[in-house]
């Protein structure tokens, strides 16, 4: 299995504060990965390290086995749309596409034209005179037309209206299916991610909380409802991620390492949203700690 993006104990700090710390993950080829976390979690920092805009203060980041900060040639394989989609505002989309074609041998101008025609964005207007959402679409068209093997998108759909967002994500899936491009997409819109992504990275307070293929993560996790007393979760539970209690019953979101057979506990499937929120929540720290079971 080819690993497209790999980080090993990766860290970046500003002054004394770590923006990203001890980040170790591997993104296999062909995945559409969601990068999720609250504001300030370190998502943009990770993406900027991956495209060589930042130099690590600790550990390493490799893209296609190469170090982007020192070996910028690897960036010919990478498309990146930054959070605020910075573009030369006096240029029209056509002029930006011409520039894209001059700078990238594989640039697919027809694809860029098709994208903008589909959503009715004029190619002859300076992009500074387009709306924020339209500018984001132009930036996305530019990045997709580069036909990158790895596409990194920092909140690409945040300023796009719901219909255009759905249309964009479908187009993105089309490109992925056609070209096998690996995508890493940061977003706060969990419903979009549920429809689009097959791999998940959850960052919280500068650290990786959860990483893996969505289907495996959903299989490994369960919501358990059972008696409040007892104090220990049933056999098969490797970790209690989140615990909520009433006087009589406990509801646990757990990671399992074996089948759950205790009849006192009812087990339910979890959704991607349940999983993300459980790993992001601080939970009820006292009972939560009491429920911890070493993996």
Residue 39 interacts with ligand ATP (CB under 6 A)? Answer: yes
Distance (Å, whole) CA 237 – CA 224: 10
Min dist. Cβ of residue 145 to ligand ATP (A): 25
Q: Are 22 and 11 in contact (CB under 8 A)?
A: yes
Please say which residue, 186 or 256, places its beta carbon nearer to ligand ATP: 186
Size of the site for ligand ATP (CB under 6 A): 11
Please state whether beta strands 199-204 and 207-213 pair in parallel, antiparallel, or not at all (unpaired).
antiparallel
Q: Which of 14, 161, 162, 290 binds ligand ATP (CB under 6 A)?
A: 14
Backbone angles phi, psi at 68, to 5 degrees: -60, -35
Residue 44 interacts with ligand ATP (CB under 6 A)? Answer: yes
Residue 221 interacts with ligand ATP (CB under 6 A)? Answer: no
Distances (CA, A) of 284 to 70, 118, 242, 272: 44, 48, 8, 21
Q: Which of 11, 23, 42, 82 binds ligand ATP (CB under 6 A)?
A: 42
Residue 19 interacts with ligand ATP (CB under 6 A)? Answer: yes
Residue 41 interacts with ligand ATP (CB under 6 A)? Answer: yes
Distance (Å, whole) CA 251 – CA 238: 16
Q: Which of 40, 180, 227, 230 binds ligand ATP (CB under 6 A)?
A: 40
Min dist. Cβ of residue 49 to ligand ATP (A): 10
Q: Are 100 and 146 in contact (CB under 8 A)?
A: yes
Distances (CA, A) of 234 to 187, 223, 248, 287, 289: 35, 12, 17, 16, 16
Q: Which of 21, 31, 43, 288 binds ligand ATP (CB under 6 A)?
A: 43
Distance (Å, whole) CA 69 – CA 59: 13
Residue 11 interacts with ligand ATP (CB under 6 A)? Answer: no
Please say which residue, 17 or 258, places its beta carbon nearer to ligand ATP: 17
Q: Are 221 and 275 in contact (CB under 8 A)?
A: yes
Q: Which stretch binds ligand ATP (CB under 6 A): 32-40, 92-100, 117-125, 226-234?
A: 32-40
Residue 113, classified by CB atoms within 10 Å of its CB into exposed (0-12), middle (13-18) or buried (19+), is middle
Q: Which stretch binds ligand ATP (CB under 6 A): 36-44, 63-71, 156-164, 279-287?
A: 36-44
Write the interaction track for ligand ATP spanning residues 62-91; mark x where CB under 6 A is met and - where it is not. Answer: ---------------------x--------
Distance (Å, whole) CA 133 – CA 39: 21
Footprint on this chain of ligand ATP (rule: CB under 6 A): 14, 19, 37, 39-45, 83
């Amino acid at each position: 299995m080819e690993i497209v993006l790999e980080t090993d104990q990766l860290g970046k700090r500003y002054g004394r504060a770590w923006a990203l710390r001890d980040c170790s993950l591997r993104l296999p080829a062909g995945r559409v990965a969601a990068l999720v976390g609250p504001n300030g979690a370190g998502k943009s920092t990770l993406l900027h390290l991956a495209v060589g805009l930042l130099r690590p203060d600790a550990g390493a980041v490799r893209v296609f086995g190469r170090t982007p900060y020192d070996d910028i040639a690897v960036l010919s394989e990478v498309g990146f749309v930054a959070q605020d989609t910075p573009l030369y505002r006096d240029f029209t989309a056509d002029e930006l596409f011409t520039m894209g074609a001059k700078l990238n041998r594989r640039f697919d101008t027809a694809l860029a034209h098709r994208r903008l025609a589909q959503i009715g964005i004029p190619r002859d207007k300076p992009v500074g005179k387009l709306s924020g959402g339209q500018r984001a679409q132009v930036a996305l068209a530019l990045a997709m037309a580069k036909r990158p093997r790895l596409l990194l998108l920092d909140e690409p759909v945040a300023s796009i209206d719901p219909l255009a967002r759905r249309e964009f994500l479908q187009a993105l899936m089309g490109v992925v299916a056609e070209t096998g491009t690996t995508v890493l997409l940061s977003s706060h819109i969990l419903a979009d991610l549920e429809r689009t992504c097959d791999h998940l990275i959850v960052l919280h307070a500068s650290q990786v909380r959860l990483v893996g293929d969505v289907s495996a993560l959903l299989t490994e996790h369960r919501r358990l409802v059972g008696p409040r007393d007892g104090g220990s979760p049933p056999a098969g539970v490797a970790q209690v991620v989140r615990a909520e209690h009433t006087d009589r019953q406990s509801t646990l979101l757990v990671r399992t390492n074996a089948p759950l057979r205790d009849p006192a506990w009812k087990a339910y499937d979890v959704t991607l949203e349940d999983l993300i929120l459980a790993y992001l929540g601080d939970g009820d720290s006292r009972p939560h700690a009491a429920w911890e079971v070493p993996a």
